[in-house]
Amino acid sequence: MTTLPDLSNDTLWAILNDELDDDTVNRLVWHYLGYRPTEKGWDTTSVDPAWGEKYPEPPDFIESRPATVQLTRSIPAEYKQLLKEELGFKGYTIDQLVPRLTRRATMTNWLLAYRAQHP
């Protein structure tokens, strides 16, 4: 497995700008959720039980609306606006409002919330 990029603003902008491939974006979220790959599957001992029970294998957030909804709900209220507040992200244009990009924005916001909670 390749090394994951750090949670820098450059990485987060690369997610929003669709410059980082979907697999890497998923792996970033999985990593910070606590999923660890093993030779036989996934080690979920560090995964919050709310995730581990529902998703014993990490979900593909780009493809799974229910997983992305759960990701959104897991962001504490005080961190819901970090895309705007910290990155100055103004959102996507109408022609960009497709599930894949909006899910990437959700993943970015979750990563921002994680970063804020774990300085």
- The SS3 of residue 81 is coil
pLDDT digits (tens, 9 = 90+) for 73-114: 999 999 999 999 999 999 888 888 889 999 999 999 999 999
* pLDDT tens by residue, 29-46: 999 999 999 999 999 999
- Amino acid code (one letter) for 23: D
3-state helix, strand, coil in the chain (%, to 5): 55, 5, 40
Contacts of 52 (CB under 8 A, 6+ apart): 44
All domains in the chain, ordered by first residue? 9-117 (1.10.418.90)
Average pLDDT of the chain to the nearest whole number:
94
- What's the predicted TM-score (pTM) here? 0.93
State how far the Cα of 81 lies from the Cα of 98, in Å rounded to an integer: 20
Tokens of 55: 């998703």
What mean pLDDT do residues 10-19 have? 97
pLDDT score of 1 more than 60: no
The pLDDT value given to residue 47: 96
